[in-house]
Amino acid sequence: MLKYAMIGGGPGAFVGSVHRNALALNGDAKLVAGCFSRDLEKTRAIGAELGLAEDRLYATPEEMARLEAGDVDFAVIVTSNEAHYPSVKTCLANGIHVMCDKPFTVTSAQAEELVGMARDSELVLAVTYTYAGYPMVRQAREMIERGDLGEIRFVNCEYPQGWLAEMLETTGHTQATWRADPKRSGGVLSLGDVGTHVEYLVPFVTGLNLTRLAARLDTLVEGRLLDDNGTILTEYDTGARGMYWYSQAATGCVNELKLRIYGDKGGLEWFQEDPDHLHYTPIGQPKQTIVRGAPEMLPGAMAYSHTPAGHPEGWLQAFANIYTAFCATIEHGAAPDFPTGEDGLRGVRFIEACVESSRNGTSWIDF
């Protein structure tokens, strides 16, 4: 079993414990060290809960990376966005493979530097675009690869949430406070938080490469400093077109990521809140629902399915699937089958392009 260290994911944190549980789910790696917070006492408190040795709990990511070099196989970065870059950098500089959460960094210059460091030192660098880990997302990808949709004409992807429909950031809410702070989030709020998942998911499933976009970023909640809603028109290398909508001010939406793809032979729909079902409509035929775990699933997708059909899987298994692929690359040099640092870099460039377009009156920007 591989050994890993974690940066971020301290007491009360949201996603750190999800990463820890996902890594435990498939038995891929064991947590042995951490710098879970900027506050050493908090790191010690959670380290004790997790049963870690006291001398493997650190005050700073830099100290951890220096002293754990050679003793851990990889590090997981689950801090607020502004701390991704220095945390990833210190791990790579000390020869430690890295899994970082999204958005990868707050500027594309930072992301380029990190991707270059990983490449030069032959280290594995990955980003947890979680939705790549869902079996039915993989099924959609394989169906498109084998031509079930024909030529793709249009892609519609939306990711609305409603939890920031009020000024939560002024109430002391931890996750809202840093996400809405331009200095900590990276100059965008919801575009980085949920819009980047859309940016990753569409090319991952369809194979389309984005060539142009026109974005309008909105701030719907009065007093907020950053975007909480956005609409993006897209064009791809094949001539296909698309439309993205992301929001965190869509009252009534919980986590409603929806992907719809339309080709000249058929259409596909996948809804994150109903993740075990993929809806496929060949032109001129009734809609079919493909169920995760059923025999008609394609082999690559089936490899990501763990429980029998009708026994739901979800977010945690998706994280675990990404980690299993990541660990296989570290352990046996398996071909990378997870979102990479390059994907993270593209996501940050996408953010920058959307901001530029929106500032220029939703002008078209080459991507």
Ligand X SMILES: NC(=O)c1ccc[n+]([C@@H]2O[C@H](COP(=O)([O-])OP(=O)(O)OC[C@H]3O[C@@H](n4cnc5c(N)ncnc54)[C@H](O)[C@@H]3O)[C@@H](O)[C@H]2O)c1
> Tokens representing 248?
């965190």
Nearer Cβ to ligand X (37/340): 37
Minimum distance of ligand X from residue 42's CB (angstroms): 7
Nearer Cβ to ligand X (128/234): 128
Give residues 1-60 in contact with ligand X (rule: CB under 6 A).
Answer: 7-10, 13-16, 35-38
Nearer Cβ to ligand X (20/262): 20
Minimum distance of ligand X from residue 300's CB (angstroms): 22
Where do the H-state alpha helices sit in the chain? 16-25, 40-49, 61-68, 84-93, 108-120, 135-145, 174-179, 182-185, 190, 196-206, 299-302, 315-332, 341-359
- Asked if residue 364 binds ligand X (CB under 6 A), the reply is no
- Asked if residue 209 binds ligand X (CB under 6 A), the reply is no
Q: Which of 4, 47, 52, 61 binds ligand X (CB under 6 A)?
A: 61
Q: Which of 20, 102, 138, 141 binds ligand X (CB under 6 A)?
A: 102
The answer to whether residues 47 and 57 touch, using CB atoms and an 8 Å cutoff, is yes
Nearer Cβ to ligand X (128/149): 128
DSSP designation for 191? I
The answer to whether residues 300 and 137 touch, using CB atoms and an 8 Å cutoff, is no
Q: Where does this chain touch ligand X (CB under 6 A) — which range of 172-180, 218-226, 246-254, 355-363?
A: 172-180
DSSP, residue by residue, 200-230: HHHHHHH---EEEEEEEEE--STT-SS-SEE
Which class for 120: exposed (0-12), middle (13-18), buried (19 or more C-beta within 10 A)?
exposed
What CA–CA distance (Å, rounded) separates 96 from 114? 13
Q: How many residues are listed for the chain in this entry?
A: 367
Nearer Cβ to ligand X (131/236): 131
Minimum distance of ligand X from residue 360's CB (angstroms): 26
Give residues 260-319 in contact with ligand X (rule: CB under 6 A).
Answer: none
Nearer Cβ to ligand X (236/246): 246
Reading phi first (left if > 0) and then psi (alpha if -120 to 50, else beta), residue 40 is in alpha
Minimum distance of ligand X from residue 33's CB (angstroms): 12
Minimum distance of ligand X from residue 188's CB (angstroms): 11
Q: Which has the closest alpha carbon to 164: 142, 186, 180, 185?
A: 180
Count of C-beta atoms within a 10 Å radius of residue 366: 9
- Asked if residue 128 binds ligand X (CB under 6 A), the reply is yes
> Tokens representing 204?
């991952």
Nearer Cβ to ligand X (176/215): 176
Give the footprint of ligand X on this chain (CB under 6 A).
7-10, 13-16, 35-38, 61, 78-81, 83, 101-102, 128, 130, 174-175, 178, 193
